[in-house]
Structure 1
Amino acid sequence: MAGNTQTQDQVVSAARFVVDFPGSPVGRMAFSELGGINSKVASQEYIYNDATGNTVHTKQFGKTEPPTISLKRAVDQAGTNAILLWHAKARGGDPTARVPGTLSVYDAGKNLQAMYYLTNAWLSEVVISSMKAGASDVAMIECKITCEEISGTRS
């Protein structure tokens, strides 16, 4: 575009992801992989006839799904126990399983690249990767954190 003086912000380069949920068993914990942050509002088709008899097709807001964050880290005793305890609280319907928190994204130089604020988050899903006896692969645990709202800022 001619005359457009806007420039693109520096892109985010991530090397480490840290969640901080002070009210949960997890507390502050680092992850090596962010699988994604997802939020969805479905579209609903609405069809009607107007006053002149014409058929009108419109799209309306539909069902919303809460934001989810997928994170992975290596299985270790203390971290995995904390993750499983937080998930057990959510499975049991314990209201204290819902906590506010943050997801921070750091680059290789340990500089904060982005921070996301999570409202009433809980650990909705846990998956421990398959393992094979005698293999040298690192066992991974994947966590899905669901929250009521997510907002972000750029450092």
Structure 2
Amino acid sequence: MTSSPQVQDQVVSAARFVADFQGSPMGRMAFAELGGINSKVASQEYIYNDAEGNTRHTKQFGKTDPPTISLKRALDAGGSVKILAWHELARLGKAAARADGTLTVYDASGTQQALYLIENAWLSEVTISSMKAGSSEVAMIECKITCESITGKGK
């Protein structure tokens, strides 16, 4: 019996990330770095005795943490005002802080490599990098977006 070899899909090479949350003050914005997309379901141990009196150890689904996305870009006046405005809505507990959106990953030629649909998201954390007077380093702003769900879509 002959089997054909498995062909691996093309590996994603990213050059640019575009977050599009049109229902938020941030709107559509490009980012230079994706720090990661994280989602977690904890493992809970459950111990019980079966009908024969044997002790059984099983693992069950535990507490879930909401998915988060970390994005970074250079600090600029226009972009940082929009980012901070969206974060302020979440700090105030406003319903308008939640928005659906997408995260699109592009390669160097501008071809879409990946698309993520993001539901019920809000900007949960903002960090502006430290700066030093006279330094030539680019100051960065990091955004952590928390959401209800992330779904990956094909190209």
Length-normalised TM-score, structure 1: 0.97
CA distance in 1, matches of 2:96, 2:102: 17
CA apart distance, 1:145: 0.4
Equivalent residues in 2 for 1:1-155, closer than 5 Å: 3-155=3-155
CA apart distance, 1:51: 1.6
Deviation by residue 1:73-125 (Cα, 9 ceiling, x = unmatched)? 00000000000000000110110110000000000001110000000110000
Moved more, 3-12 or 106-115: 3-12
Question: Cα RMSD (Å) of the superposition?
Answer: 0.9
Deviation by residue 1:120-141 (Cα, 9 ceiling, x = unmatched)? 1100000001111111110000
CA distance in 1, matches of 2:38, 2:4: 32
**Which secondary structure does the structure 2 equivalent of 1:84 belong to?**
helix
Question: Which consecutive aligned stretches of 4+ in structure 1 deviate over 3 angstroms post-superposition?
Answer: none
CA distance in 2, matches of 1:27, 1:72: 16
CA distance in 1, matches of 2:113, 2:17: 10
**Which secondary structure does the structure 1 equivalent of 2:10 belong to?**
coil
Structure 2 letter corresponding to 1:105: V
How many residue pairs were aligned?
154
**Which secondary structure does the structure 2 equivalent of 1:83 belong to?**
helix
CA apart distance, 1:4: 4.3
Runs of at least 5 residues in structure 1 that lack an aligned partner in the other structure: none
CA apart distance, 1:23: 0.8
Percent identity for Structure 1 against Structure 2: 71
Runs of at least 5 residues in structure 2 that lack an aligned partner in the other structure: none
